[in-house]
Amino acid sequence: MSKLLVVDDESKIRAVIREYSEFEGYEVDEASDGMEALGLVKLNDYDLIIMDVMMPKLDGFSACKEIRKIKDTPIIMLSARGEEYDKLFGFELGVDDYVVKPFSPKELMARVNAIISRRSVGSAVKSDDVLVFDGLAINMPAREVKVDGEKVELTPKEYELLFYMVQNKNIALSRDKLLSDVWGYDFFGDDRTVDTHIKNLRNNLGKYRDYIVTIRGVGYKFEA
């Protein structure tokens, strides 16, 4: 049974998410602020974290930053603020998805199911090979990427995006295709979600960023 951590300072919101999550078959822990959430993450392994942005003691963005230092657990951020800046900032911190309040519990669970399903498929990949492109080494089973021998820390979604593009190297992939196959849904996300993750991924690959080629009017491809 997959285990979720729901973090929100509003008990009614936690109760609604718990009800829908347990109906979907998930086990649920709760936290009322970022500090409590961080403590639980240190003690437990969760399959996904649903976390509000605006909370006392430690806000969601700060909590996400601290969690990323110790775990690569997927995170869905909840926020009453829908500004593009907030979403992009969250993605740069390693957030996997961003849901604006008020939200549909059914839509939230669709996103949860998609992320967990995608992670399960990714963890089932079997390969003993490390793919090497000049000084870029990609070890899919170990979820490890090295640039000139130095390990690069990617967010969970950046790993999945890079691995998917490498598995489909030299194939032009539309943004819709990437949203559908990497994020696991084809109607919740938008083009900017893909573009932001591509930008961050390129920055992490350094001088090997040019392996990810922009196909104007279409999307991207890993060209090797």
> Which has the closest alpha carbon to 60: 15, 94, 106, 109?
94
Q: How high is the pLDDT of residue 120?
A: 64
Residues 163-206 pLDDT 10s: 999 989 899 999 888 888 887 754 455 667 888 899 999 999 99
Q: Which CATH number fits domain 131-222: 1.10.10.10, 2.40.50.140, 1.20.140.10, 2.30.110.10?
A: 1.10.10.10
Answer whether 3-123 and 131-222 agree in fold.
Answer: no
pLDDT at 127 over 60: no
For the chain, what percent of residues have pLDDT higher than 70?
90
Cis peptide preceding 105, ω within 30 of 0: no
Residues 70-109 pLDDT 10s: 888 899 999 887 666 777 777 777 788 888 888 899 989 9
Q: Which sequence spans correspond to the domains of the chain?
A: 3-123, 131-222
Residues 14-26 pLDDT 10s: 999 999 999 999 9
Fold of the 3-123 domain? Rossmann fold (3.40.50)
Burial class for 103, CB neighbours closer than 10 Å (0-12, 13-18, 19+): middle
Q: How high is the pLDDT of residue 82?
A: 65
Q: How high is the pLDDT of residue 172?
A: 93
Tell me the pairing of strands 144-147 and 150-152. Answer: antiparallel
Number of H helices, E strands in the chain: 8, 12
Secondary structure (DSSP) of 125-162: ----PPEEETTEEEETTTTEEEETTEEE---HHHHHHH
> Is the whole-model pTM more than 0.85?
no
Q: What value, to the nearest 5°, has the Cα angle with vertex 80 and ends 78 and 85?
A: 85
